């Protein structure tokens, strides 16, 4: 049955692909695609190990092809609809409902879709909740927490509750290694660190409201929402395209936010206006909603956790069984299932690995400049087969170059 809204009957499209499938335009002989990927051909897709923007589910991309042209048989594409019209009303309401279903999010929390990505949250959080008279705790486990700490210091006192720079950011702290401030207004941590490939196995214990930057592992495994006052994630790794951030925030925390802020930096204003204080990133919200539906179709977070563990194990086994040819960056007990980081210990050999991998249709394996080496980002949408191909290539490369 169609959804009756504002006098219109919007039927869910039954087609997963548009009538005419767009064909990629071939690169010229000197074009970047041909130069980087000798086996490239128009319309071909390769294994995308990029840390973000990252791989999206292919069935979501095909649905988007249809809905960019004509969504819900409205005769208009999703990017052309008014953000205050009935079509987008349906899009955002379904996205919120599916998000709540995925993580069992209660009515005690708001689900918001905001602009500026996770980096804007680095400033927006302390802007709302921190002051020169108060302190927030920040365990520093890598580049993104370092950036968040820098922004927070503009608004109040910051306690670096763990200094990961002293251990090369090779692991995340145990609860005993985190020094908390009595009466802290919140503790902020990053659940998965893309650059060094470390991940918390569980949220840290906190005596203050717990805030999580889950940008690179959101909905990759079951998550205890109720232990957190706020969880946020930039979309471009596990949820959709860049340009939108998911914010899940307890309503009582929103109410504690500072008043008198510029409108766009107030969580309360965004909550009151249903994430539409101004024109929102409508296409990004639509795409995130489609990814939510895809997650539910997969069977939910427990299924994805098992799948992600299997994918990561293929690559970690290739590292561990290499006889020391490959060296993992992260301490084994803190290894990420989203970002597998490793190196050979020889910069020239690392460059050769990345170059030869590209010839075998594997892109995005160059490590971040802060960590060097290689990084395989294998978010929810990345296929198991790609991990098998990489692991086989790693073994062949080690034999040929060891």
Task: Mention every residue, 6+ apart, whose C-beta is less than 8 A from residue 82.
Answer: 88
CB 236 within 8 A of CB 323: no
Q: Which of 75, 73, 125, 68 lies closest to 284 in space, CA to CA? A: 68
Phi, psi of 362 (to 5 degrees): -120, 115
- Structural tokens at position 16: 């997963």
Q: Which residues have a Cβ under 8 Å from the Cβ of 153 and sit 6 or more positions away?
A: none
Contact 387, 311 (CB under 8 A): yes
Closest CA to 275 of 84, 97, 132, 65: 84
Close Cβ partners of 277 (under 8 Å, ≥ 6 residues apart): 263, 264, 269, 270
Active site residues: 144, 213, 237
Q: Is 233 helix (H, G, I), strand (E, B) or coil?
A: strand
CA distance 249 to 96: 13
Please state, in angstroms and rounded to a whole number, the distance separating the CA atoms of residues 237 and 182.
35
3-state secondary structure of 78: helix
| Residues 234 and 117: beta-carbon distance below 8 Å | yes
Pairing of strands 339-343, 157-163: unpaired
Cα 119 from Cα 104, distance rounded (Å): 26
225 Rama sector, left if φ>0, alpha if ψ -120 to 50, beta otherwise: alpha
Contacts (Cβ under 8 Å, ≥6 apart) of 305: 220, 221, 222
Cα gap 156→158, rounded to integer Å? 7
Report yes or no: 364 and 51 within 8 Å, Cβ to Cβ. Answer: yes
The CA distance from 364 to 52, in Å, is 9
């Amino acid at each position: 049955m169609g959804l009756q809204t504002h006098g219109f009957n919007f039927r869910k499209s039954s087609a997963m692909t548009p009538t005419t499938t767009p064909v990629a335009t071939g690169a010229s002989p000197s074009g970047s695609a041909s130069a980087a990927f000798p086996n490239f051909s128009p319309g071909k897709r390769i294994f995308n190990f990029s840390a973000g923007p990252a791989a999206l589910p292919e069935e979501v991309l095909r649905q988007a092809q249809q809905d960019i042209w004509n969504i819900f048989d409205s005769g208009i594409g999703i990017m052309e609809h008014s953000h205050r019209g009935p079509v987008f009303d349906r899009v955002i309401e379904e996205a919120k409902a599916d998000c709540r279903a995925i993580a069992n999010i209660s009515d005690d929390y708001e689900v918001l879709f905001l602009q500026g990505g996770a980096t804007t949250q680095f400033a927006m959080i302390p802007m709302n909740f921190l002051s020169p008279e108060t302190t927030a705790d920040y365990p520093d486990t890598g580049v993104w927490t370092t950036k968040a700490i820098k922004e927070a210091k503009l608004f109040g006192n910051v306690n670096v509750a763990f200094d990961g720079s002293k251990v090369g950011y090779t692991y995340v702290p145990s609860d005993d290694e985190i020094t908390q401030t009595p009466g802290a207004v919140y503790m902020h941590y990053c659940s998965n660190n893309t650059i060094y490939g470390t991940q918390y196995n569980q949220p840290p214990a906190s005596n203050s409201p717990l805030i999580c930057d889950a940008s690179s592992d959101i909905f990759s495994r079951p998550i205890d929402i109720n232990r957190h006052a706020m969880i946020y994630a930039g979309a471009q790794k596990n949820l959709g395209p860049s340009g939108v951030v998911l914010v899940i925030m307890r309503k009582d925390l929103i109410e504690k936010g500072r008043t008198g802020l510029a409108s766009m930096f107030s969580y309360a204003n965004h909550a009151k206006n249903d994430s539409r204080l101004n024109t929102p990133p409508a296409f990004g919200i639509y795409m995130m909603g489609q990814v939510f539906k895809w997650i539910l179709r997969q069977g939910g977070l427990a299924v994805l956790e098992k799948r992600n563990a299997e994918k990561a194990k293929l690559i970690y086994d290739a590292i561990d069984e290499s006889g020391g040819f490959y060296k993992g960056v992260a301490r084994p007990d803190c290894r990420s299932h989203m970002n597998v980081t490793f190196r050979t210990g020889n910069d020239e050999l690392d460059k050769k690995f990345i170059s030869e991998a590209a010839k075998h249709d594997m892109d995005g394996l160059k490590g971040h400049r802060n960590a060097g080496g290689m990084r395989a980002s294998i978010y929810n949408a990345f296929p198991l087969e790609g991990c098998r191909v990489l692991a086989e290539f790693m073994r062949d490369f080690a034999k040929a170059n060891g």
